[in-house]
Amino acid sequence: MLNIFARASVSRVTDPIGAALVRAGLTPNAMTVLGTAGAVACALAFFPQGMLLWGTFTVWGFAMLDLLDGAMARARGYGTPFGAVLDATCDRLVDGALFAAIAWWCFVQDHNNRAAAAALICLVLAQVISYVKARAEASGLEADGGLVERAERLIIALVGTGLHGLGVPYTVEITLWLLAVLSVITLLQRAAAVASAARAAAAKQADSSAGGAQP
C-alpha cells in the first residue's frame, strides 16, 4: 500500500542517485546483491546479540539500497528478467534473516516466547504473501496490493526493534503481533484478488469460446 502512494515521491530522490551510480559503472544487480548481503549480515550479527539499535539502523540502511536498483534500471533504460528474479529472491532472503534474527533475540535474549512466536508467524506469512503474488503472476493472474507489503513489513518490524533499543518496553512484541494480524489480512486480500482475477479470466475465456462457436 505504501508503495503505491510513495513511489513517485521516492523516485524523485532516488532517480538522480541511480543515474550517478550507473555513470560510475555499477549495475542494478550489483546494488541488489550488496544491499541484501549487508542487510542479512547486519540482521544476523546484531539482533541475536541484543544490539537492537545497531541492527535497526544498519538493516534499514542496507534495505534502502533496494530502492536504488530500480532507479539504476530506469537510468540505464531497461531492466532484465534475471534482475527481477534476483530482486525478488533477495527480498525474501532479507525478510527471512530479519524475522529469524528477531525471533532468536526474543528466545535467547528477551526470553519472550510469545514475541518469538509472533516473529516466526511474520516470517512465514511474509514468504507466503510474496509467493501468492509470484504464483498468481506465473498463472497470468494478478494479486497485488494488501495492507502490508514489503515496505510496511520492514517499517513495522524495525520501528518495534528501534523503540525497544531506546528503552521503550514491549514494543517488539506489540509490533510483531500487529504485523502478524495485518499479514493475515493481507494474505486473505491477495487470495481474494486471485480468486476474482481467476473468475474474470474464466468468464472472458467463456465469452471468447461462445463468440467463436457462433455461425
DSSP character string of 99-160: HHHHHHIIIIIS--HHHHHHHHHHHHHHHHHHHHHHHHHHTT------S--HHHHHHHHHHH
Tell me how far apart the alpha carbons of residues 141 and 35 are, in angstroms, rounded to a whole number: 30
Q: Residue 38 — very low, low, confident or very high, per pLDDT cuts 50/70/90? A: very high
**Helix, strand or coil for residue 7?**
helix
Extract the annotated binding site for Mg(2+): 66, 69, 87, 91
* Dihedral angle over CA of 10, 148, 134, 15, nearest 10: 0
3-state helix, strand, coil in the chain (%, to 5): 85, 0, 15
- Measured CA to CA, the distance from residue 131 to residue 133 in angstroms comes to 5
**pLDDT for residue 3:** 52
Q: Which residues are annotated as a binding site for a CDP-1,2-diacyl-sn-glycerol?
A: 29-32, 70, 74, 80
Place 113 in a pLDDT band, splitting at 50, 70 and 90.
very high
Q: Which of 91, 95, 110, 144 is catalytic?
A: 91
Cβ-proximal residues to 89 (8 Å cutoff; 6+ apart), any chain: none
First and final CA of the chain: distance in angstroms? 47
The rounded distance, in Å, linking the Cα atoms of 102 and 61 is 17
Q: Quote the pLDDT of residue 18.
A: 76
pLDDT, position 15: 74
pLDDT number for residue 110: 95
Q: Give the mean model confidence (pLDDT) for residues 58-71.
A: 85
pTM of the model: 0.88
Is the pLDDT at 92 greater than 80, yes or no?
A: yes
Comparing 48-52, 56-60, 64-68, 162-166, the range with the smallest average pLDDT is 64-68
Quote the pLDDT of residue 97.
97
Is 21 within 8 Å of 68 (Cβ atoms)? yes
Mean pLDDT of 25-36: 88
Please state which of the ranges 25-34, 168-177, 185-194, 204-213 shows the lowest mean pLDDT. 204-213
Neighbours of 91 (CB within 10 A): 21
> How far is 15 from 8, CA to CA, in rounded Å?
10
Average pLDDT score, the chain: 88
For 180-197, the pLDDT digits (tens) are: 999 999 999 999 999 998
* pLDDT confidence bin for 205, thresholds 50/70/90: confident
Distance CA 199, CA 215 (A): 27
Q: Is 15 one of the catalytic residues?
A: no
Whether pLDDT at 213 is above 80: no
**What is the per-residue pLDDT for 101?**
98
Fold topology of 2-205:
Four Helix Bundle (Hemerythrin (Met), subunit A) (1.20.120)
CA distance 11 to 25: 20
For residues 59-77, give the mean pLDDT.
Answer: 83
Q: What is the pLDDT of residue 130?
A: 93
Question: What long-range pairs does 206-211 form, CB within 8 A, spacing at least 24?
Answer: none
Is the confidence at residue 1, as pLDDT, over 60?
A: no
- Compute CA 87 distance to the chain's CA centroid, rounded to the nearest angstrom: 10
